[in-house]
């Protein structure tokens, strides 16, 4: 646990490893750390044996100026310079380098999952064998609705392979067998997983060209780790692994080079962590002079609610709720005409020293009901 604390604070380890840069996002309450930079440099600064589970979605080296079909349109397969092949030997050395770095930070009984297509997964598997990983399973992720093959010279690419491996031959890896059996309707889960690609809501804050569905990462994390354990993603992308880890009550470390994808990740994390509950109380006053303790709303001589219509607007009230960064709750609330006035009142309050994550505004309108 002490070593994990050093990850959060950026201290030099006892082995004089490189200094870990300050995370671009650090949530001590939920144990989330997001780092921006080259994964080899960030991993080199993390102490030995502090991570329970790694999921990695490395470059597939697919960007070869080809074309594919997306939403019925012909588009380029190029994802960025990071996905362009440097040649078989260079690609393999890169895979071996980051896998060795991941192996070092894994705990003795930790495990790693790596996804890829035929362009990279064979190199990953060979590098794992060279480094002494213990290969456990190769999962076939089946995409039920893959894009068509435009050249009509190959079978339609409808799967990705995910290799699951333990740190070494001596590792006693975690496998929540009973949970996976329950998820699979009481039957042993097979190594073929039909799971839909990311849904539209998963992309509402932005998307990554190689984005994985949350359902896939949720299954991986719950299958091979336990609550409160550390999950690391060295190629974080738009943060699907982090989101799945949060939902599964795991600690999360993410590493990503691209600032745009980090921004998307932070939006997704915020959406997961902020929960606002607003309760409204209604005060009913009986103006009937012939007062009795009974409900006469549907009886003779009274008007049912369906005979009423909104009338004159009596009052509009705006309320602002300040949500804390570390205390994920309403730390201050105020009635104000606009956000500027609300911020002034917050600054003048005893809570002004608290760090605020966001402000929620609600509006209430009160009307005088009239007969239809």
- Across all residues in the chain, what is the average pLDDT? 82
Domains in the chain, number: 2
The neighbour count for residue 80, using CB atoms within 10 Å, is: 11
Q: Based on the number of CB atoms within 10 Å of its own CB, is 131 exposed (0-12), middle (13-18) or buried (19 or more)?
A: middle
Q: Based on the number of CB atoms within 10 Å of its own CB, is 223 exposed (0-12), middle (13-18) or buried (19 or more)?
A: buried
Whether residue 239 is contained in a domain is answered as: yes
pLDDT given at position 172: 97
231 shares its domain with 329 = no
39 shares its domain with 152 = yes
pLDDT given at position 57: 95
Whether residue 279 is contained in a domain is answered as: no
Is residue 87 pLDDT above 60, yes or no?
A: yes
pLDDT given at position 120: 92
Is residue 181 pLDDT above 50, yes or no?
A: yes
Range of the domain at 320: 307-371
Cα–Cα dist 33/9, whole Å = 10
Cα–Cα dist 109/175, whole Å = 11
| Tokens matching residue 3 | 């070593």
Q: What is the mean pLDDT of residues 102-110?
A: 98
Beta pairing partners, 106: 51
The neighbour count for residue 150, using CB atoms within 10 Å, is: 12
Beta pairing partners, 335: 319
256-289, pLDDT tens digit by residue?
999 999 999 999 998 888 755 555 444 444 444 4
The closest of 223, 246, 225, 242 to 234, measured between CA atoms, is 242
pLDDT band at 369 (very low <50, low <70, confident <90, very high): low
pLDDT band at 8 (very low <50, low <70, confident <90, very high): very low
pLDDT given at position 99: 98
117 shares its domain with 251 = yes
240 shares its domain with 362 = no
Whether residue 286 is contained in a domain is answered as: no
58-70, pLDDT tens digit by residue?
998 764 545 444 5
Cα–Cα dist 349/326, whole Å = 18
Whether residue 290 is contained in a domain is answered as: no
231 shares its domain with 353 = no
Cα–Cα dist 337/361, whole Å = 11
Q: Which among 223, 247, 273 is the end of a domain? A: 273
Whether residue 109 is contained in a domain is answered as: yes
The CATH number assigned to the domain holding 232 equals: 3.40.50.150
11-24, pLDDT tens digit by residue?
334 456 788 999 99
Cα–Cα dist 86/84, whole Å = 7
Q: What is the 8-class DSSP label of residue 21?
A: P
Is residue 365 pLDDT above 50, yes or no?
A: yes
Residue % of the chain over a pLDDT of 90? 51
Cα–Cα dist 129/168, whole Å = 10
Q: Which among 254, 273, 292 is the end of a domain? A: 273
Whether residue 145 is contained in a domain is answered as: yes
Dihedral angle computed from the Cα positions of residues 226, 246, 183 and 134, in that order, rounded to the nearest 10 degrees = -50
269 shares its domain with 220 = yes
Name, of 84-88, 209-213, 263-267, 344-348, the range with top average pLDDT: 263-267
Cα–Cα dist 25/269, whole Å = 10
Any idea how long the chain is? 372
pLDDT band at 324 (very low <50, low <70, confident <90, very high): confident
* Contacting residues for 2 by C-beta, under 8 A, at least 6 apart: none
46 shares its domain with 120 = yes
64 shares its domain with 177 = yes
pLDDT given at position 295: 44
Q: Which among 255, 273, 291 is the end of a domain? A: 273
Q: What is the mean pLDDT of residues 308-317?
A: 72
pLDDT given at position 139: 97
What is the residue-wise DSSP string for 173-214?
----HHHHHHHTTTS---SEEE-----GGGGTT---TTPPPH
184 shares its domain with 312 = no
Whether residue 296 is contained in a domain is answered as: no
Whether residue 123 is contained in a domain is answered as: yes
pLDDT given at position 85: 67
pLDDT given at position 74: 52
pLDDT given at position 62: 64
Q: Can you say whether residue 331 is alpha, beta or left, with left for phi > 0 and alpha for psi between -120 and 50 degrees?
A: alpha
Cα–Cα dist 367/369, whole Å = 6
| Tokens matching residue 242 | 């982090």
The closest of 88, 100, 108, 161 to 132, measured between CA atoms, is 100
Phi, psi angle pair for 354, to nearest 5°: -80, 145
């Amino acid at each position: 646990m002490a070593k994990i604390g050093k990850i959060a604070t950026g201290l030099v380890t006892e082995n004089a490893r490189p200094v870990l840069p300050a995370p671009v996002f650090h949530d001590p309450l939920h144990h989330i750390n997001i780092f921006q930079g080259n994964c080899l440099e960030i991993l080199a600064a993390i102490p030995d044996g502090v991570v329970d589970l790694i999921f990695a979605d490395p470059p597939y080296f697919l960007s070869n100026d080809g074309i594919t079909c997306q939403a019925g349109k012909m588009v380029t397969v190029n994802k960025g310079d990071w996905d362009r092949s440097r040649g078989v030997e260079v690609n393999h050395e890169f895979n071996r380098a980051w896998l060795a770095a991941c192996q070092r930070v894994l705990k003795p009984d930790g495990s790693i999952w790596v996804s890829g297509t035929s362009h990279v997964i064979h190199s990953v598997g060979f590098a794992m064998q060279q480094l002494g990983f213990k290969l456990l399973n190769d999962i076939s992720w089946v995409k039920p609705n893959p894009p068509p093959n435009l050249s009509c010279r190959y079978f339609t690419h409808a799967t990705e392979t995910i290799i699951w491996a333990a740190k070494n031959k001596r590792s006693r890896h975690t496998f929540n067998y009973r949970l996976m059996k329950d998820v699979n309707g009481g039957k042993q889960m097979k190594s073929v997983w039909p799971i839909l690609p990311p849904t539209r809501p998963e992309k509402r804050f932005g998307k990554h060209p190689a984005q994985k569905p949350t359902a896939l990462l949720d299954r991986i994390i719950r299958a091979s780790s336990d609550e409160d354990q550390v999950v690391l993603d060295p190629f974080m992308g738009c943060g699907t692994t982090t989101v799945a880890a949060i939902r599964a009550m795991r600690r999360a470390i993410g590493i990503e080079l691209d600032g745009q994808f980090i921004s998307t990740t932070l939006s997704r994390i915020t959406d997961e962590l902020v929960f606002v509950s607003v309760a409204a109380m209604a005060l009913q006053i009986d103006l009937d002079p012939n007062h009795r303790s009974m409900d006469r709303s549907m009886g003779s001589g009274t008007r049912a609610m369906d005979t009423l219509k909104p009338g004159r607007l009596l009052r509009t009230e705006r309320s602002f709720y300040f949500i804390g960064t570390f205390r994920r709750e309403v730390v201050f609330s105020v009635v104000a005409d606009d956000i500027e006035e609300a911020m002034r009142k917050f600054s003048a309050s005893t809570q002004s020293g608290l760090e605020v994550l966001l402000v929620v505004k609600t509006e209430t309108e009160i009307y005088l009901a009239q007969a239809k």
